[in-house]
Amino acid sequence: MEEKFKITSVVSVCNNRIWLNGQLAFECKEPDTARFLLSAFQNLKVTYPKFYKMDGLSKLGWVATEYLLKDKPGFTLNDNYSAGMVLANKNASLDADLKYYQTVASIPSPALFVYTLPNIVMGEISIRHKLKGENAFFIQEEFDADFIAQYVQGLLNNNILQSCICGWVDLLNEDYKAVLMRVEKNGEGVEFTSQNMLTYF
């Protein structure tokens, strides 16, 4: 018999606002995405110099995860291999790819090149939170809640993970959206189903 898992926390980042569990956590009327993400980062009042070197997609995912977990200590359940991530987006790392391509005509930028894979955002999040569990990044035309839910449930049912960050992180130029959920085996919240995921999305 399959267990029922819970969505214990949800964050949504779009339109210059960050919503955490249905409550407005941050709002800033900055004129562009980069400035908004910087303001959201500064609002967290954390010291993390590496943030300034990240590409836009990584900054978006990093900020979203930081808000998602800031009031939830013990996410890794004292075992860094028990927590993982399953993310998806539409544009892969195209934002960083285009910026890198612009440098190729003169001197290719190694600093940009390292971000020309969409799963680098998961690497940045994993480094920050010391997550070593299973992870996967999928490219989808639109958010496929059925697929993501089935994939995450498989990881939890088979005890590969005890908890998982899952959802959508997409950024291209000035268009961005992140919707991340914290899913746990032993937690309080809404049942983890594809239908419930879509209500947050």
Helix (H, G, I), strand (E, B) or coil at 70: coil
Say if CB 182 and CB 7 are below 8 A apart: yes
The one-letter code for the residue type at 9 is: S
pLDDT at position 47 is 94
Specify the CATH superfamily of domain 6-200. Thiolase/Chalcone synthase (3.40.47.10)
pTM of the model: 0.90
Which stretches of the chain score pLDDT less than 50?
Answer: 1, 100
Say if CB 169 and CB 89 are below 8 A apart: yes
* Per-residue model confidence as pLDDT tens digits over 130-164: 899 999 999 999 999 999 999 999 999 999 999 99
